[in-house]
C-alpha cells in the first residue's frame, strides 16, 4: 500500500514525487512509457528559470534522481483503469497498469499531461522538428527575422501568432473557417492590429515541403506550404495550434472533464489531485507544471495526514 501514486513523469509528476517523498510519504510514480513527458522532446529548454539551454530529457533525469534520493519509487508503466472504494474516513485507490500489475494507494495525483492535436497533412510528419512545431514558446526564438505560418484560429493560435510576431519577420495565420469565431475578442483585436501578422481565412494546408532529402537522409527544413487554394507560400516555419487533448482516457466517465479532456481540481473525488498539462485552465509550460506539481503534492500530504 502506497500513500501516494503519481501518474506521469513529466515536470508536474516529478515535482510532485519530490515533494511527496520528501514529506515522508510512501510514493510511487507510474511514469508511462517515457520519462519527462513532452519536456523530454525539447532539445534546448531556454525558458525554464536557472537552467538556460538545458536539454529536456537531461532535466527530467535530474528531477527523477532528486526524487529518488528521498525514497520515491518509479515504474515505467501506464494506468489502464483507476478504481476506488471507501475505507474508513478516506478512499483506497486501485490502479491497474499496462504491466499487468495492480497498485494500491491512499491517494492519486493525475499528471499524465496532454498532447497537441496533430495535423495529418502531407509533409507534416517528415518536417516535424525541422520547421514544423507544435510549441511556439519553445521554438519561436529560432525563427527570428524569418517568415512563419500559424495554423489554427482559436486562442492558442492567436497567442502563438502574437508571441511569434515578437521574433519573426512576418507571421501569417491560416484558418480553415471564415472568421475567428472561437478566439477571445481581445486577442482577435490584437492580432488584427499587429502589422507583422496577416490572416488567410477559409484556408488549409495541403502540403508542407522543402528540399527533397537524398536517399536515407533526413529532411533539412521547411521552405514552403501549399494551400487548398493551390497557393504556394514560402516560409521557414509552420506552427500547428489546433488544440490539445488531455491523456485521460483511462479515467471512468464519472470523472468530469472539459472539452479538451482536462481535469478541474474541484471536480475530483477526495484523495485525487491533478497537476500539469492535464489540469484545466493551466498554461502549458514547464514552469507552471512544476508549480502545479508542488501544489498537488502538498495538498495530498495534508489530505493523508487528515485521515489519521
Catalytic: 99? no
Instruction: Find the catalytic residue in 3, 139, 160, 277.
Output: 139
Catalytic: 235? no
Instruction: Find the catalytic residue in 33, 99, 120, 138.
Output: 138
Cα-based distances in Å from 1 to 4, 19, 27: 9, 19, 10
Instruction: Find the catalytic residue in 33, 98, 120, 135.
Output: 135
Catalytic: 139? yes
The residues annotated as belonging to the active site are 135, 138-139
Amino acid at each position: 500500500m502506497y500513500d501516494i501514486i503519481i501518474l506521469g513523469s513529466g515536470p508536474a509528476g516529478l515535482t510532485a514525487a519530490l515533494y511527496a517523498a520528501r514529506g515522508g510519504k510512501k510514493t510511487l510514480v507510474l511514469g508511462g512509457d517515457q520519462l519527462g513527458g513532452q519536456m523530454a522532446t525539447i532539445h534546448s529548454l531556454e525558458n525554464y528559470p536557472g537552467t538556460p539551454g538545458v536539454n529536456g530529457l537531461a532535466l527530467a533525469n535530474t528531477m527523477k534522481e532528486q526524487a529518488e534520493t528521498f525514497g520515491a519509487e518509479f515504474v515505467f508503466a501506464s494506468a489502464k483503469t483507476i478504481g476506488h472504494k471507501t475505507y474508513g474516513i478516506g478512499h483506497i485507490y486501485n490502479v491497474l497498469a499496462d504491466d499487468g500489475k495492480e497498485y494500491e494507494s491512499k491517494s492519486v495525483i493525475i499528471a499524465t499531461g496532454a498532447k497537441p492535436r496533430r495535423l495529418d497533412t502531407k509533409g507534416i510528419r517528415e518536417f516535424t522538428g525541422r520547421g514544423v512545431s507544435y510549441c511556439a514558446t519553445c521554438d519561436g526564438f529560432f525563427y527570428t527575422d524569418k517568415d512563419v505560418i500559424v495554423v489554427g484560429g482559436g486562442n492558442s493560435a492567436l497567442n502563438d501568432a502574437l508571441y511569434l510576431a515578437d521574433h519573426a519577420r512576418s507571421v501569417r495565420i491560416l484558418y480553415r473557417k471564415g472568421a475567428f469565431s472561437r478566439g477571445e475578442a481581445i486577442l482577435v483585436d490584437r492580432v488584427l492590429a499587429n502589422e507583422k501578422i496577416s490572416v488567410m481565412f477559409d484556408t488549409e494546408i495541403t502540403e508542407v515541403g522543402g528540399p527533397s532529402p537524398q536517399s536515407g537522409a533526413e529532411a533539412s527544413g521547411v521552405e514552403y506550404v501549399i494551400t487548398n487554394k493551390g497557393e504556394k507560400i514560402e516560409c521557414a516555419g509552420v506552427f500547428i495550434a489546433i488544440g490539445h487533448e488531455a491523456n485521460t482516457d483511462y479515467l471512468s466517465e464519472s470523472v468530469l472533464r472539459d472539452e479538451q479532456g482536462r481535469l478541474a481540481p474541484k471536480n475530483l473525488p477526495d484523495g485525487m489531485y491533478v497537476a500539469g498539462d492535464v489540469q484545466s485552465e493551466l498554461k502549458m509550460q514547464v514552469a507552471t507544471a512544476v508549480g502545479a506539481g508542488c501544489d498537488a503534492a502538498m495538498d495530498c500530504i495534508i489530505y493523508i495526514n487528515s485521515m489519521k
